[in-house]
Amino acid sequence: MRKKSIVHDDPITFEVVRSDLYAICEEMKSVMMRASFSPLLSLSADLSCAILDHKGDVVAQGNDIPVHLGAMPFSAKGILESFALDSWKPGDAVLSNDPYSGGSHLPDMTLLSPIFDASSVVGFSASRVHWPDVGGSAAGSSSVTDEIVKEGIRVPPVKIIKAGEPDQGLWTLLFANVRVPHDRVGDFQAQIACNARGVQRVSKQITRYGGAQMRRIFSETQDQSQHMINTMLDKIPDGTYRAVHHLDGDGFTEDAGNGPFGISVMIEKRARRLCFDFTGTDKQAKGPINSPFAVTASVCYYTVLALAGGAVPPNSGAYRGIEVVAPEGSLVNPVYPAPVVAGNTETANRMVDVLLDALAPAIPERAVAGSYGCAGVFALGGWDAVRGGRFVHYETIGGGMGASAQGPGIDGHRVHMGNTMNLPCEAIEASMPLRIDAYELIDGSGGAGLHAGGRGVCKVIRALTDDVEFSLLYERGLHPAPGMLGGEAGRCARFAMEHVDGTKTTLSSKTVGCRLMKGEALRIETAGGGGWGDPHESGD
C-alpha cells in the first residue's frame, strides 16, 4: 500500500503548486536577465534558478543549464554545512563559488536565500549565475593555469547579506577582486533581486497553503520524480556497462592517443539503482580540465534525465537512485589546489559521451553517438582604441550533436550540459573592435550514418586592433566524436590563426596567451557529431 499523500488526497492542489514552483523559477530568471549588466547574462542567459527544500535538495528548477542545476544541491549542502538551519534569519543570503565546497568553477556564483514559514526555514530560493569575471590571471577568468588560486577569487560560503543588509566588509573585499567592478555590482544586485522574487513568491504560497502543506508538496514533488525515473530505470536491463574515452589535453600536455587523460566508467544497473563508478579514471591533471565532484554527479544526473526524455519534472528526487563513485585526486574528483575552470564546460560534455557510449548496448534504441564534446569557450580582451576602453569578451560556440535512432544529430547547437545562447554577430561588432567574417555550418563535418551526425560550426573572428589576447578551451581537436552502431565519427575540431600575409598557424584545442594583431583572424571550427547506423543503408 502507498502511504497517504497529498498527491492522492488533493491532486489538484498538488499540481497547482508544483506548476507554480516551476513558473517561479522562470520568473526569477527573467528578473536576472532584464536587470543585469553583462551580455553573458542578459543576452546569453548563463544562469540558472531553482527552489530548494530545507535540506538543500532541488524541488523545482528553471529551463536553464543542466550543469548548473545538477550541481546546485552540492553547493547548497556545502553552504548548509557552514550555516546550520537555525542560524538563518529572514533577509539573509549566502554566496559561494567554491569548487571544493560543492561548487563547479569559480565564475559560477551560487546565492541562497531562505524562505520561512511562521516557525522555521521551509526552503531556499537559489540562483547560480556565471559572473563574466571573478579575477584571476586572464580576462574573463578563463585560462590555463596550474592551480585554482590563479583562476580567480574563491568564495567559500559567506553570509553576504544579513537580514537584508549587505555585509560591507565582504562586499568591498569581493568587488576589489574582480574586473570591471561597476558592472559586477549591477549584476550582483540583479542576482539578489532574482532571489528576492523567488522568496516573495514562495512565501505567498506558504501564506495560502500553510508551511506544513508546502513541506509535504516539496517532498512529494521529489517522490513523484523518483517514481517516474524508476519507471524508466525498469526499462534498462540489469548489467554492467563500460566505456573509456580520452581527452585532448590539459593545456600543458596534448595527447592524440590513449594517454594521460582517460575517463573510465563502469555503470552498474541493478533493479532501480544505477551506479556510475569512475574508478580507473586518470589522476587529476595539471591544467584546468578537472571536473569537481558536483560536476561529475550532475553529468550522471543529466544523462539519466535525458534518457527519460524530458518527461520527468527535474528535481533531486530524480537523482535518488543514482550513485556516483569518483576516486579522490582523479580527473573526475580533484583535490585542492587543482584548477577546474574547464571541467564544468568542456570535460563535462565529454563525460556525457562516455556515459552514453557505455549505456548503448543496454538501450540501443535510445543510444546517441558522440557530440562535439564541449561548450566551446573562447575569451578575448584588450584595449579598444576606437572606443577608448578595455574590452572583455566571453562566448561559447555550438557544434554537432550525435545522431540517434530517432534521427540525425542537430547542427551547430549547444548540446548536453550547457545551454546558453550565442551573442549575435551584429552585437559583437557593435560593441568590440572585432569583425566576424563567417558564422556557418561546416559541410560534411557530421559523421556519416543511416542518420548523420550534426554539423560543426565555423566562426572566423578578425581583430580590428592590435594585441587582442585570446584563449580557447575546446575539445575533440584530436579525438573525434565516435559514431554508433556502424555510424562514422564526426570531423575533428580545428583551430588556426590567419595572418595578414595569408599564412596560418594551427592551434591546439586549449590555447592561451596568444595575441591577434590588427587584421589577423582566429578561425574556430567545432567538431561534428557522430553518425548512427550503417551509412550504406541510408537512402532506402
Main-chain phi, psi angles of 64, to 5 degrees: -110, -115
Instruction: In whole angstroms, give the CA distance from residue 53 to residue 224.
Output: 15
In DSSP terms, 361 is beta-bridged to none
Report 402-461 residues binding other proteins (CB under 8 A): 404-407, 410-415, 419-422, 424-427, 429-430, 435-441, 457, 460
Report 458-517 residues binding other proteins (CB under 8 A): 460
* CA 505 to centroid of chain Cα atoms: 31
Choose one: 135-143, 214-222, 332-340, 398-406; the region binding other proteins (CB under 8 A): 398-406
Report 102-141 residues binding other proteins (CB under 8 A): none
In DSSP terms, 463 is beta-bridged to 434
Report 173-192 residues binding other proteins (CB under 8 A): 182-183, 185-186, 189-190, 192
In DSSP terms, 382 is beta-bridged to 391
Report 326-355 residues binding other proteins (CB under 8 A): none
- For other proteins, the closer of residues 64 and 151 by Cβ is 64
CA dist 506 → 270, 346, 496, 509, 513 (Å): 47, 20, 4, 10, 15
CB 519 within 8 A of CB 470: no
Report 296-315 residues binding other proteins (CB under 8 A): 302, 305-310, 312, 314
| Residue partners of 262: CB distance under 8 A and separation at least 6 | 244, 245, 246, 247, 280, 281, 282
By CB under 8 A, residue 4 contacts other proteins? no
Main-chain phi, psi angles of 296, to 5 degrees: -60, -45
By CB under 8 A, residue 228 contacts other proteins? yes
Return the residue of 153, 401, 452, 524 that touches other proteins, per CB under 8 A. 401
Residue carrying C-alpha cell 580527473: 331
Return the residue of 120, 207, 231, 240 that touches other proteins, per CB under 8 A. 231
The minimum distance between CB 413 and other proteins, in angstroms, equals: 5
Pick from 76, 46, 83: which is nearest to 59 by CA?
76
C-alpha cell at 244: 573509456
The minimum distance between CB 117 and other proteins, in angstroms, equals: 21
Lay out the site mask for other proteins across 149-168 (x = CB under 8 A, - = otherwise).
--------------------
Return the residue of 21, 25, 29, 39 that touches other proteins, per CB under 8 A. 39
Instruction: In whole angstroms, give the CA distance from residue 305 to residue 519.
Output: 46
By CB under 8 A, residue 317 contacts other proteins? no
Lay out the site mask for other proteins across 245-284 (x = CB under 8 A, - = otherwise).
----------------------------------------
The minimum distance between CB 191 and other proteins, in angstroms, equals: 11
CB 384 within 8 A of CB 419: no
- For other proteins, the closer of residues 366 and 510 by Cβ is 366
Three-class SS of residue 294? helix
- For other proteins, the closer of residues 233 and 308 by Cβ is 308
- For other proteins, the closer of residues 413 and 499 by Cβ is 413
Main-chain phi, psi angles of 294, to 5 degrees: -60, -35
CA dist 392 → 136, 140, 344, 373, 466 (Å): 14, 7, 21, 25, 14
By CB under 8 A, residue 193 contacts other proteins? yes
Residue carrying C-alpha cell 564526426: 490
The minimum distance between CB 339 and other proteins, in angstroms, equals: 27
- For other proteins, the closer of residues 125 and 420 by Cβ is 420
CB 269 within 8 A of CB 236: yes
Residue 8 identity: H
Return the residue of 1, 3, 4, 12 that touches other proteins, per CB under 8 A. 12
- For other proteins, the closer of residues 41 and 148 by Cβ is 41
Axis-axis angle for helices 181-209, 11-35 (nearest 10): 160
Return the residue of 21, 25, 29, 31 that touches other proteins, per CB under 8 A. 31
- For other proteins, the closer of residues 255 and 384 by Cβ is 384
The minimum distance between CB 416 and other proteins, in angstroms, equals: 9
| Cα-Cα end-to-end distance for the chain | 51
In DSSP terms, 239 is beta-bridged to 269
- For other proteins, the closer of residues 157 and 446 by Cβ is 446
- C-beta atoms surrounding 176 within 10 Å: 10
The minimum distance between CB 328 and other proteins, in angstroms, equals: 29
Return the residue of 5, 6, 43, 166 that touches other proteins, per CB under 8 A. 43
The minimum distance between CB 80 and other proteins, in angstroms, equals: 26
CB 117 within 8 A of CB 206: yes
- For other proteins, the closer of residues 219 and 419 by Cβ is 419
Instruction: Please work out the total of residues on this chain that contact other proteins, with binding judged by CB under 8 A.
Output: 84
